[in-house]
Amino acid sequence: MKIIQITDTHFVPPGHTLYGLDPAASLRRTVADINERHADVDLVVVTGDLANDGDESAYQLLRDTLAPLPCEVRLLLGNHDNRESFRHVFPKAPVDSRGFIQSALPTSDGALQLLFLDSHEPATIGGKYCPVRIDWLATELAQAPDIPAVIFIHHPPFDAGLAHFKHIGFHDPEALLEVLHNHPAGIRHMFFGHIHISLSGITEGGISYTSGRGVSHQFIVEPEDPAPYWTAGTGPNYTVITQQGKELRAMHVDTLDARPLVRSSECFGP
């Protein structure tokens, strides 16, 4: 199964820019590159901060920009989003019984279960995961106790090691992590956004993770600086996740604006 992660689209209403950039233009180039190079993609996941201020017109623009993708798209919410406006523009987006934007999906071979979590809390910059959502997650995991899970979420439920996010990280991660750690088959991997830079590692409890970069704007990586510069970075980007059985591989694609030099030759080794 091939899954592509896009994150932190931060759409603004048509005709507006953000930090001098046009988020819609960045995503259009990303979608075009995916269609050209990954027409066999099975699923695209956009891990939150879909709109910068939750404007309904921004969600409408996002919907139209994503429309050319050849596969199912799962959209998650981040702190910049507005759940009511999102649901009005995306009425068919999967939700749980309480209206949270979260859902489950088995991989095509049934080896893993994909869980898409809603860590959005109104008027809160960091992530929250209330008891109602905890119950939903625990129930989903209990229905497949022998199948490892892969988590997609906006906010990383741990300290990402970046001073800028010291006060706007996940505010109550303990309950969420307890449910994940107690899953008998284990959590195979976690993919998230929010921090706008690439990060990989493993939690104290043994969950490996990967973050996507903001598709439009990123941070200059200064872990100790609470107010780092935003940057256009290397331009539009996305992450290609390939899955076969219990094996996962993630490759960051950030060369859309790269200038080709010379073609390499095939290496036959040894």
pTM over 0.95: yes
Two structure tokens written together for 244: 């076969």
Question: What would you report as the CA-atom Rg of the chain, rounded to the nearest whole angstrom?
Answer: 18
Residue 83 backbone phi and psi in degrees, to 5: -65, -40
Residue 226 is given by DSSP the state S
Domain extents in the chain:
2-253
2-253 CATH fold: Purple Acid Phosphatase; chain A, domain 2 (3.60.21)
Q: Which among 152, 161, 168, 146 is positioned nearest to 209, based on CA atoms?
A: 152
pLDDT at 234 over 90: no
The predicted-structure confidence for 196-209, as pLDDT tens digits, reads as follows: 999 999 999 999 99
In this prediction, residues 263-269 reach a mean pLDDT of 92
Rounded Cα gap, residues 50 and 77, in angstroms: 7
